[in-house]
A and B are shown apart, each in its own frame.
Chain A
Amino acid sequence: MSKFSRRDFLKTTAGAAAAGTLGVGSTMWSGEALAQSQWAPEKGAKLRVLRWKRFVQGDEDMWLANTKKFTEKTGIEVRVDSEGWEDVRPKAAVAANVGSGPDVIISTFEDAHQYPDKLVDVSDVCNYLGGKYGGWYDVCKSYCTEKGKWIAVPMGCAGNAIVHRISVMKEAGFSEFPKDLAGFLKLAQAYKAKGLPPGFALGNATGDGNVWCHWLVWAHGGKMVDEKGNVVIASPETEAALNYGKQLYDTFIPGTLSWLDPNNNKAFLDGQIGMTANGISIYYAAKTSQDPKLKAMADDIGHANFPVGPIGKTTELNLFFPMMLFKYSKYPKAAKAYLAFMMEKEQYEPWQQAAIGYVSHPLVAYEKNPLWASDPKNAPYSNSMKVMLPNGYAGPMGYASAATMADFIMVNMVAEAASGAKTPKEAMERAKARAERYYKV
């Protein structure tokens, strides 16, 4: 994590908030006003944006509509391309190092820390937005600041939460979803006893596997590396996590070792499992289905944030999206204007609604987006940015943390221990050896 104290943050935020007041309100975005502002676009500016491909159609439609609005107001042409989210990362790395490509790339996780010197300082944009919209959640600073500077604008994250069946939970004697690990395990066992076992992905599932395995280890106080980047995964805390994971695994439906990202969605909607971790998509698939059986299931689906472990704070990992502006861009001011425009309330909230809560906001003020209150079941997803830790916690972000995740070291460790293929001790020693390769000095 970068050395960026709260004091520094407040200082820069306050300064920029003052500067930002010049352009408060949507009037700022008319061509003339924009020309007077700090982001007066370059003459003949044209932008190319590369983003991850939508999970729900509404997201893409509204993002493009907002982009069109930007073009209409400012005259700046913007072309938006999208690619599957796992493909954006290598493309961004190539663009960064070849020195040409889209002006703005909306990528995933800690990409901004992989080539911070290739990115434009966007502190002005972030301080303006943060000042106007109640500040950024802490995790944004981990992902997007370096040495006190913002090197990317947080777009939000695709939140994960526990998806489960309320009726079974009530039958098992729980009035609400347990908030601690002991209760969570008890509930999982109850689900299994009721014939609707839990199922969490343990195959090489980039999204679903990583999310819950990181939570499991972090919740017990285990972590891959310490603040200095020393690999400390082999610890009593990790061992406790793996032992707990084994007990949890015993309640799972058979076959989770082979599960990739789509498996839990299919199994849940088919009524084979009663609990999993996922984005909001399962609920929406059920809610919008024409099938009366699925519609009934939607009423029974509950969402909850992951329980909190002995370390006493939330420890989730969600798919974070940084928006990076590259130094090779010929129109950095126009690009900054675009980024700020897209994050303004008038654009962001409708976009978030169109994405049906798939994307959780990075700015505190958007907690009040009517989307979250419109269906109480959406609420846990509104917390996603609040309850998460940065990838590679608690160490520095960069190439090593990214590679460690891509190599499924955490997921493999949990899977090996849970399935009994290795003892928890063996599994974490192996994870340590693998991670040390990436974190070697």
Chain B
Amino acid sequence: MHRLLNNRHVLGLLFMLPAGLLLLVFLTYPLGLGTWLGFTDAKVGRAGHFVGLENFQFLWGDSVTRLALFNTLFYTAVASVIKFALGLWLALLLNRNLPFKSFFRAVVLLPFIVPTALSALAFWWIYDAQFSIVSWTLMKMGLIHQYIDFLGDPWLARYSTIAANIWRGVPFVAICLLAGLQTIPVSLYEAAALDGATPWQRFRFVTLPLLTPIIAVVMTFSVLFTFTDFQLIYVLTRGGPLNATHLMATLSFQRAISGGSLGEGAAVATAMVPFLLAAILFSYFGLQRRKWQQGARD
């Protein structure tokens, strides 16, 4: 026993056991169960039977699911691109020597710190069809003559929810990229400056390549968060109007819990996995390639 415990490998395994168990119980099992449920006709509280791909077949032909898939892709694409652009811009600004630097850096994080359900409630009021402060202000300024129907018009509702998501997501991107920026040695910029590089060239050939690994990680997370967003939509619209803002996650909840079709809801959730995997693979095999980072092409 004593000898066994002194063995590095045995000890190593022993120390990993708690973490491994936690992962197994709280991560692998639920994920496996969720995937399995997607192939059954389980109802809330009623064990289901294996039905093969039937759920997926139905979902493929279901107009609401198709709409939700489109909404999710649109929501993720637009929000991620804008979050990246704004986040990078903000990070570059914060990386300069501003007065009250640390104060600004802390303040920028605020939207990210506020619980989503709370900020979503604030946005709910901002977008309200009757009490919107935005509409009110524009009315008082005489710029519009009718309250803007932020959440009542399908396309406007999509853009409004995306705007709320961006507001919430930018700080995460900005602060992570800021951390990345600070790891870039100043000497590289000095060398570039001595070579007569313009600010744009310094950004393009020094900052960007060195930042790419961080960008890859940050944007992977950002895309995952956006793709799986739930709270914001649930508070703002519950998927309305006319299902124009239903995301895969909210639809999954509506079908599985409110509607009781656990199997079908799980199938909606499982259908998200390929997209998420694609996003992860893209970032790991694409953005993290050394060749790309050094500016070369395949």
Contact = CB atoms under 8 A, between A and B. Distances in A.
Interface of A: 86, 89-90, 93-98, 114-115, 202-206, 253-260, 263, 266-267, 270, 272, 399, 402-403, 406-408, 412, 415-416, 419, 421, 430, 433-434, 437-438
B257 A254 contact: no
Contact of A259 (B44, B129, B147, B153): B129
B151 interface: yes
Contacts of A253: 129-130
Interface stretch (B31-39, B221-229, B232-240, B285-293): B232-240
A204 B237 contact: yes
B45 A258 contact: no
B63 interface: yes
Contact of B243 (A254, A402, A412): A412
B260 A90 contact: yes
Determine chain A's interface SS by DSSP, over half rule.
Answer: helix
A203 B233 CA distance: 13
Chain B interface helix/strand/loop/mixed: loop
Interface string B235-256: 0011111110000000000110
A402 B43 CA distance: 12
Contact of B153 (A257, A260, A266, A402): A257
A266 B238 contact: no
14 contacts: A86-B258, A90-B257, A96-B45, A202-B241, A203-B238, A254-B129, A256-B152, A258-B129, A258-B149, A258-B237, A260-B237, A267-B130, A270-B130, A437-B62
A254 B260 contact: no
Given A255-B149, A257-B149, A90 B44 contact: yes
B150 interface: yes
A270 B128 CA distance: 13
A383 to B, nearest CB: 29
A93, A115, A408 interface centre (most CB from chain B within 10 Å)? A408
Nearest to B243: A412
A407 B255 contact: yes
Nearest to B156: A258
Contacts of B131: 266, 270
A415 B238 CA distance: 15
Given A263-B128, A399-B43, A258 B241 contact: yes
Nearest to B131: A266
B270 interface: no
Nearest to A203: B240
Given A204-B240, A267-B129, 17 more contacts: A90-B45, A90-B260, A93-B260, A202-B241, A203-B238, A204-B238, A253-B129, A254-B152, A263-B128, A263-B129, A267-B130, A406-B258, A407-B259, A408-B254, A415-B242, A434-B62, A437-B58
Interface string B118-148: 0000000001111100000000000000110
* Residue of A203, A267, A437 ringed by the most chain B CB atoms within 10 A: A203
A263 B130 contact: yes
Contacts of B243: 412
Contacts of A270: 130-131
A266 B151 CA distance: 16
Contacts of B44: 90, 93-94
Q: Which 8 pairs of residues, A with B, have the shortest CB-CB distance?
A: A255-B129, A97-B45, A258-B151, A93-B45, A257-B241, A406-B259, A203-B240, A258-B152
Contacts of A438: 261
B46 interface: yes
Interface string B6-47: 000000000000000000000000000000000000011111
A79 B63 CA distance: 45
B217 to A, nearest CB: 36
B174 interface: no
Contacts of A96: 45
Contacts of A98: 45
Contacts of B238: 203-205, 260
A204 to B, nearest CB: 4
Q: How large is the interface on B (under 10, 10 to 19, 20 to 34, 35 or more residues)?
A: 35 or more
A115 B241 CA distance: 33
Contacts of B257: 90
Interface in B243-285: 243, 254-255, 257-261
Contacts of A406: 254, 258-260
Nearest to A99: B45
A403 to B, nearest CB: 4
B157 interface: yes
Contacts of A272: 130
B234 to A, nearest CB: 10
Contacts of A114: 260
B209 interface: no
A257 B258 contact: no
Interface string B193-209: 00000000000000000
Nearest to B47: A97
B111 interface: no
B58 to A, nearest CB: 6
Contacts of B260: 89-90, 93, 114, 399, 402-403, 406
B180 interface: no
**Candidate in B58, B150, B237 with the most chain A CB atoms within 10 angstroms:** B237
B213 interface: no
A255 B152 contact: yes
A97 B46 contact: yes
Contacts of B92: none
B216 interface: no
Nearest to A407: B259
Contacts of B46: 93, 97, 115
A266 B240 contact: no
Contacts of B149: 254-255, 257-258
Nearest to B260: A403
Contacts of B108: none
